[in-house]
Copies of this chain bind each other. A is one copy, B any other.
Amino acid sequence: MDLLTGFKIFIEKEQLFAPDQSLLLAVSGGLDSVVMAHLFKAAGFRFAIAHCNFQLREAESVRDESFVKTLADVLQVPFHHIRFDTLTYTESKRVSIQVAARELRYEWLEETRTKAGYSFIVTAHHMQDSVETLLMNLSKGTGISGLHGILPAQGKIIRPLLFAQKEDLLAYAQENGISYVEDSSNLTTKYTRNFFRHKVIPVMQEANPGTVPNIAASIARFREAEVLYQQALEKHVRRLVEQKGNMYMVPVLKLQKTIPMQTVAWEIFRKYGCTPPQLPQVLELLDSTSGKIVETATHRIIRDRQWLLITPLVETEAAVIVIEKDRSVVATANGILRLRTVVRKEQTPIPASAAIACLDKASLQYPLLLRRWRQGDYFYPLGMRKKKKLSRFFIDQKLSVPQKENIWVLESSKRVVWIVGLRIDDRFKVTQHTKDQLTIEWEAL
């Protein structure tokens, strides 16, 4: 099959774009991108050419820029170009030249695409590039997502040459008398990539000349395997993760029995800031006692009886946790609330601890809200007929500023029910008429 036919078939098979869409081709002037531009012309697609001059190779950079401009003229398509002060960017952002070039390039391409109304940015990655990516990921260590190589479509970037081998592009250029410039350095590829390109892959090809197309065919299969992986994973996550407000609950026993446990646990906890080296600590919670905590960058994972509770590390001031009627546990950044309803028996004493609130359930209106206290909040302290400002109450209690910051208030239809861990409101206390008693325990972490 000739290159142009393969190109059209690949675009259709992967549904990269529609024939009426206009595209922005990133063209460096090298073999891959120049052949790509010619293929787009030959196929009759609508496109423009974009070129970045990173001003890192002096005369060579200027030569490339004017080469690509001429190419755009010859192909009679719009030409977009820019010159970057890459070195200054590198210094100010403290990143490597490779990272700088990459960031500058994609930012400008996306800006140009949006402004001029192109549907997609098109890059000239081919089969070898994708195989290099897979092998690099492998040598660094990877999960299944590292096996899909370079994707044909990702957001607004498409790569219609992934079906083609470097040699095919070279042959096409020769057959069609297409000239291109030789890059003395390839800015957008790191050293490691060049090493895999020039050292690793050639040795593998010595063992098996079909290495590149064989790995490319495997990549196509891995992409589908990843879909199956995700399907099975989603089922496990639905089964294992229960959301309660801004908290997530994972049942310990169910997770322990899950097959495959490690991977499913990883895929669950990574979403809450868990890193690979932290995973063993999180899994230790499965065998530990209630109260043990692992902190990730963003969340607390708390062993609480038969559950792992996942709760955000920092509650924003605006954070409001909604507590529905059936809720039995609420985890916050600094403590856990446990709720249970019991039928009130007159002889049962009311615990003296301020950490336990005994409330007349009939006096409450659901959903309850758990929120930070605010200036202007007031309540009727238990045993008093007169309302009191919370700010005043806190002074009487001699709370420090950080203590005050950590105070939670339980609210029922805009009325304060409980200053959590300190005092309940008189209007919600248990009386001789109480039938259902809501007991809430506060366990500070």
Contacts and interface: CB of A to CB of B under 8 A. Distances in A.
Interface stretch (A56-64, A176-184, A215-223): A215-223
Contacts of A204: 135, 139, 200
Contacts of A206: 195, 199
A228 B234 CA distance: 10
The number of times this chain is found in the oligomer is 2
B141 A228 contact: no
Contacts of A135: 204
Interface string A106-139: 0000000000000000000000000000111011
Contact of A218 (B141, B210, B264): B141
A225 B143 CA distance: 8
A227 interface: yes
A366 interface: no
A275 to B, nearest CB: 14
B227 A225 contact: no
Interface stretch (A255-263, A339-347, A368-376, A421-429): A255-263
A77 to B, nearest CB: 35
A208 B223 CA distance: 25
Given A224-B260, A225-B225, A208 B144 contact: no
A192 interface: yes
- Chain B CB count within 10 A is highest, among A134, A141, A195, for A141
B215 A141 contact: yes
B203 A263 contact: no
Most buried by B among A196, A232, A233: A232
Nearest to A215: B138
A207 interface: yes
A228 B232 contact: yes
Interface in A142-165: 142-144, 146-147
Nearest to A137: B218
Contact of A231 (B134, B139, B232, B262): B232
Nearest to A217: B141
Interface in A221-260: 221-225, 227-229, 231-233, 235-236, 259-260
B139 A214 contact: yes
A22 interface: no
A199 to B, nearest CB: 5
A227 B264 CA distance: 11
B222 A144 contact: yes
- Kindly name the residue among A146, A195, A207, A215 whose own CB sees the greatest number of chain B CB atoms within 10 A: A207
A144 B142 CA distance: 14
A35 to B, nearest CB: 26
B140 A227 contact: no
A210 B136 CA distance: 12
A439 interface: no
A211 interface: yes
Nearest to A192: B207
Nearest to A261: B224
Contacts of A143: 218, 221, 225
Given A207-B192, A228-B229, A138 B200 contact: no
Nearest to A266: B221
Given A140-B214, A200-B203, A228-B233, 10 more contacts: A138-B215, A142-B218, A143-B218, A144-B144, A144-B225, A200-B204, A228-B229, A228-B260, A229-B232, A231-B232
- By Cβ-Cβ distance, the 4 closest A-B pairs, closest first, are A141-B214, A224-B260, A224-B263, A232-B232
